[in-house]
Structures are given as C-alpha cells and as structure tokens.
Structure 1
C-alpha cells in the first residue's frame, strides 16, 4: 500500500494555563482501492483490537471489513440480509476484549457476536418475555466492558441497556425518567478506562456521562458539539467525532475542550461527516464517512 507519511503537521494552542500545546501529524489514508469490487459506502463505525487489526462497519454495503493497522485489506464478512453472517444497516462494532466482536445490526434489531476471526457465535435480541424497561430496538451503538458486560444504545426507547455476561438485560438508563441524564437521541456509547459510561447524544449536541450502574454523573459539550457520534479514549483524553462540525474534538479528563482539528472538505486533514474514531498506541484513526475513507494521524504533544 502506498503510504504518505509526514505530509503535514497541525498544532493547536490550548487556551488554558499550564497546559501543553497539542497537534496531530497526518500519516496516511485507506483503503486505496475497492474491497471485493466494492468501495466503502457510508461507513459508520471503526474499532481496533488488541493486535492492531482495524474493523470497519461498511454500512452501505452491509458488511464488516477487516484491515491491518497499516490499512491493508484482510477480510470481509456480510451482505444484506438477516442470516447470521448478514446485516441490515449495521451501525457499530466493538472489539475491546480481543476475543470477541460485537456488531449493532440496526434494522435487524439485534447484536451479533463473533470470535476474532469473525466466526459467528450468537445473537442477542429483545424478547417478548422482557419487561418494558429491559427490551431494546434498533441498536445504534454497542460497547463491552472489561467485565464482559454489554452496553447498547437503544434507539427505539432513547436509552442505554446493560446486558450481563450471559447476554441478559439487567438495567436500562437515560430515558425520560432520568432528569439531567435524559437522552434525546443516543448515537454511540464508550466505556472509559475508569468504567464510566459516555453516551453521545446527537440531538442534544452533548455527551452524557453515567457511572457503571447507570446513575447520572454529568454532561458536557453543549454549544461546542454538533451531532457528536463516535468516541475513543487515548492518552487520558476523549476524542469525539464532531460530525456536524466536520472536525475531531478532544476533551481532557475534566471534560474541557483542549483542542480540535479538521474542517469540511475532501483534502487531507479535512472531513465530511466524521462519524467515528479509534486509537492504537500513538495513532488516531478517523472514519470520514461521506469521503468513504479512514484518515490516520499521529498524536504530537509539545511542552
């Protein structure tokens, strides 16, 4: 794969005292060619496993595409349908355990579970026997904790549903009974290193934080974010795909915006509807949906 390293460096001054200056260095873009005859089409999610393999939810083609961390194609799975290796508008993926892959299959109203080689294991559906506060429909986001419990963005009920390690729902939170923690339209969910639950609320233009048990903690980003979607933690900072502003926004552990980069466009370093982001070491992978590509950057910190 042709790789364009060190094309440009962007630095962003921090408007807060006693903090460093930050920047990103563009490294490369992928994929460079169609996968199995099909270019990416409106991809909606990206995740990186512990070995550095990159998984992209290629929503327009109803498939998962797997690459190595240099952007070389490895494998693809899927196609439109409802069988165990098919999808209908898949929207999210998580691979945090290193052993399993979970996919939010939106229109099929299920979470699909695979091993790291993308062999099918099982599916999680909402069942009629579940109480109304433990069902879900049209999942748009999914993440898995270090304990192996799943957190799902339930778009039908605008809330988060928590499943235990056996795939059974145990609690929901963020619906109309949650006061300041009420979600309008949850897009993605991200579990922090200290087990807080971060939810991007794309209609309220903010990120809402809950503890591991679903209790409301705080919210931030109002008047800064526009349709926030995917998130990831790297270097103790939260990177948010600020899709409506065509940029990446970076917050510190106190939820203060410390820098951002990108604007609308198709040039290197610009974005059209960035929808998700993933980190691997010093690298940040931004899923640039309307440009049907991934842009890879290296984090730089200047004291």
Structure 2
C-alpha cells in the first residue's frame, strides 16, 4: 500500500515540474515578442510631389490607394474620375469623367485595390460599385439596390484576403458583404442602439486576419466586426477618425490633423523626420509595403512616407 501511494504522488509531482519548466522556457519568448513591437515608427518623406499642373486640376480628392509596385490611385471626387499615378506621381491612367455608365462616375467617394490589381470604386450618387483593372479599364458594375432591398449610397469599401467586398452604405448604416465569386451578398450592422450602432460611420478597412474596422468620427470610436458580421467591440478614442487602413498587423488611424497607429491594441509613437509635424486637413490614408500615403484637402494634396523602426536615414 505504501508503494502504491508513492507511485500515485510522483506522477503528480512530475506534472507540476513539467509545467513549471515549460512556463520558464516560454517567459523569455513572451518578453521578446513584446520587445519586438516597435516603440516608435519614423516617417521619412519621399522626395516627390504631385506636379503643379496636376494639383491645380484636382477637385476635392477623397480617397487614396497604393499597389504593391508603388503606384498610387486617387478618387478625384470633384472631377468624377479616378487617377493612376506612378512612383514619381505622374498621371499614367485616368477614367473619363462624369456620367452613369461604364467608367463614367458620379461622386466617387472611396476606392480599394487587391493584389491582382483590380480596383473597386464606390460610385456614390450612381449607387453602384464599379470594378476596373489596374490601368483603370472598366470591367463590371453592380448596383447596390440589387444587393440590398433599398436604394443605397456607398460611402466606403474594403476587400478581404478571401475576395469578399465589404461596402458601407449610407441610408441605413449597413455593411453589405459581397461575394463576387458566388454572386451572393449578406447584410449586417445598421442603425441600432448599443455599441454596435453604425450611425455616423464613414470609413471601413479590413485586416489580413479578417477583422473589419469601421470609423465613426461623430463619437470618436472604431467599431470592430469579424468578417462573418459578428460584433466584436467598440473602442473609444480621443480622435475623430476620418480615415483608417490596416496593413501588416498595424492599424493606421487619421483625424483631420492627427495620425495614430495601433498594434495589438497598443498605441505606437509616430515621429516625422525633417518636418517634425503631422500633415493637416487629412482626408484619407493608405499603407502598403512599408509606405504610407496621406491625402490632404489642399495642395500638395499627396504626401508619401517611408516607414522605419530606426531614425537612420532611409534611401528612396
């Protein structure tokens, strides 16, 4: 009996010793992971700007995107057109202008692009989403009222890694999830009491892991859903977020004269090399491949920054 009792105790002791050793081994890894998060992100300005004659033509540009090759796309909203600019900010493609068919637009408010260089535009007053190729050739359109039983006006849109298109519409504050491959759509969000209320929402973006972030500048919050339409949380910020973008695990937020960056729920300090100050009258932002583009309401309209974890000079 004594031998039996001892044999029963030793496995339990071994169990505790095993977990103690495992936790000890994991502790440095956890510490290292926290240390790997940058405490500061440095922004280095690019030595380029939109040509004066191009800037003079722009009217109320409202959205910006950047592709993997560094080309930049603008929604030149007041001129009812889209522009494609190369790395030197020279125009290399554009749509035709005002109208309601094919590549003709009426107040395009937002754009998003996928890795295959398909660009989607929220054609606000035409109540539709328009798809273009990377050179802004028209591919197809879909009317929002065919996806949802109402005449809706698209405010913002984002494309997931799974090919789903999320559209924020104005009339009822819904998010329409479009599955282009399956030609189906679903709806969630809307105007309702509680933290999931999308009243006043203006912009949305989606992370690589499928979290949908929706900016509400009226109550200075960012509302989060998963890609299935389940509400996750409402984060109140001391920032009226006008625009936001998610890239590489970082969530970039912009107010009219403020930039902020979150990673894993923690704020990361942002420092500007040379100018030392944040741009003002920010309209939209886009991040990709270590580059942040900032669209402003006034000339020079577009500011481009290389992101770095070190204050050492970045070579463009």
The bucket for the TM-score relative to the shorter chain is: 0.7 to 0.9
Shift of 1:236: 2.2
Q: Which residue is equivalent to 1:258? A: 268
SS at match of 1:34: helix
How many corresponding residue pairs? 274
Structure 1 residue corresponding to 2:71, chosen from 53, 57, 82? 53
The yes-or-no answer on 1:152 pairing with 2:132 is no
User: Aligned equivalents of 1:41 and 1:154: distance in 2?
Assistant: 23
Q: Which residue is equivalent to 1:9? A: none
Runs of 4+ in 1 over 6 A off after TM superposition: none
**Deviation string, structure 1 residues 238-273 (Cα, Å, up to 9, x no partner):** 111212xx121111222x3323568xxxx8854332
Residues 240, 250 of structure 1: 8 Å contact kept: yes
User: Aligned equivalents of 1:173 and 1:290: distance in 2?
Assistant: 35
User: Aligned equivalents of 2:144 and 2:247: distance in 1?
Assistant: 33
Shift of 1:30: 2.5
The yes-or-no answer on 1:213 pairing with 2:232 is no
1:75-224 alignment runs, 5 A limit: 75-127=93-145, 132=149, 135=150, 137-166=152-181, 168-177=183-192, 179-222=194-237, 224=238
Larger Rg: 2
Shift of 1:235: 4.4
User: Aligned equivalents of 1:247 and 1:261: distance in 2?
Assistant: 12
Structure 2 residue corresponding to 1:233, chosen from 229, 243, 246? 246
The yes-or-no answer on 1:39 pairing with 2:57 is yes
Shift of 1:292: 5.2
Using the TM superposition, name which of 180-189 and 162-171 deviates more. Answer: 162-171
What TM-score does the superposition give when structure 1 sets the normalisation length? Answer: 0.81
Shift of 1:285: 0.7
Shift of 1:202: 2.3
User: Aligned equivalents of 1:260 and 1:22: distance in 2?
Assistant: 5
**Deviation string, structure 1 residues 9-58 (Cα, Å, up to 9, x no partner):** xxxxxxxx9662332222245212223x9522211101112332210001
Structure 1 residues 231 and 64, CA gap change in structure 2 (3 angstroms): same
User: Aligned equivalents of 1:31 and 1:302: distance in 2?
Assistant: 27
- RMSD value, Cα: 2.5
**Deviation string, structure 1 residues 122-144 (Cα, Å, up to 9, x no partner):** 1111336x664xx4611110111
Residues 29, 293 of structure 1: 8 Å contact kept: no
What TM-score does the superposition give when structure 2 sets the normalisation length? Answer: 0.78
